[in-house]
Amino acid sequence: MGLLLRGGEVVDPGAGLAGKLDVRVRDGLVAQVGPGLADDGDTVVDVTGWLVVPGLIDLHAHCFIGGSDFGPRTDDVARSTGVTTWVDGGSTGAGTFEGMREWVLSRSRVRMFAFLNISAIGLMYLKVGELNHLAYADVDAAIGAGRDHRDLILGIKVRNQLEVVGDAGVEPLRRAVRAADAIGGRVMIHCTNPPVPMGELLALLRPGDIVSHFLHGRGHGILDEKGQIRREVRAARERGVLFDVAHGRMHVKFPIARAAIAQGFYPDTISSDLTMGGSAGCVKDLPTTMAKFLNLGMPLAEVVRAVTASPAKAIGREGRLGTLKPGSVADIAVFQLETGSYDFEDAHGEHMTGRQRLVPVLTLRAGEIWWRRA
């Protein structure tokens, strides 16, 4: 038969589900959600007192094992943190994507998608910016790779950071938009320490494009000289541009995050930008990143939405992933919401004491138990 998760506290903002509900899983799909469901021959898993949420979608992480210092062991990390869908944030470009597909994406059980770097070499050697030599931003090559791997590639990634683009300014972004237009995909832009004011970058983006690292503390950002969200930032959101946390080792500053949340400017999506260095440092994993925003003042339902329904919509899988709605894929994460005193660190060495954290308990991938806490 199937599985019945009994007695958990369901939180699924995308489907409007909340409260003590049972979840029945059959044939890899969510079959039924409701209170007091009969076991009907299913294997019962008691999750009383724990949070039951859709499997997490990490919209920006890195998985190219052996490429630069990127590539945490994706399945080991994902299954033990409730992540069932992982999106690579531009580790590879047209000249290197085939290798990541062959050696990582095709061999991982976590569901994988990717943004293709506009630089043909991707992020192979971070000591030298991949766009310092503008010729690497080969639009035709990116379009070819995007079409050849359309089942996995969601759009085009560009790091529009001063140290990366040098004198090229916004030209790499212009090329990324051209390539994304041609393949019908989104643009994901890295905007830490941009070479031009934030508004100039945002003006080139289209509805559905994704601004990564918008809470960084380096260079021109989302706050004006008075600490208020810039008008052009709010205008970009109003026309459909998405703002993603993408924590990483250098892209979240607590004072900026506090200011944004206090002004009601929540992240559209929360992602980890996980690398090997990030997992060993301040990032840790996606549940830790979620807990930071929970302790910064985001409501639990909005934190869950930002790692489930919202990224599912951003990758074109709304209603199938990131939800517990009957008929959806039975990717499910179970957490214990612990209370106490916990230390959290941003990317600038600032610490925050939080009162809540999320401890992974159980992960289901396509209806099967993938991981369970000992």
Q: Of 69, 56, 82, give the one whose Cα is nearest residue 275.
A: 69
Distance CA 7, CA 36 (A): 8
Can you give the pLDDT of all 374 residues of the chain as single tens digits? 799 999 999 999 999 999 999 999 999 999 999 999 999 999 999 999 999 999 999 999 998 866 655 555 789 999 999 999 999 999 999 999 999 998 888 889 999 999 999 999 999 888 888 999 999 999 999 999 999 999 999 999 999 999 999 899 999 999 999 999 999 999 999 999 999 999 999 999 999 999 999 999 999 999 999 999 999 999 999 999 999 999 998 899 999 999 999 999 999 999 999 987 778 789 999 999 999 999 999 999 999 999 999 999 999 999 999 999 999 999 999 999 999 999 999 999 999 999 999 999 999 999 999 999 98
Q: Are strands 56-61 and 83-93 parallel, antiparallel or unpaired?
A: parallel
* Side chain identity at residue 232, one-letter code: E
Distance CA 76, CA 230 (A): 40
Please check whether residue 112 is in contact with residue 88, taking contact to mean a CB–CB distance below 8 angstroms: yes
Q: How far is CA 346 from CA 192, 285, 330, 351, in A?
A: 15, 13, 33, 7
Q: Of 311, 313, 308, 301, give the one whose Cα is nearest residue 323.
A: 308
Helices assigned H by DSSP within 62-109: 74-79, 97-103
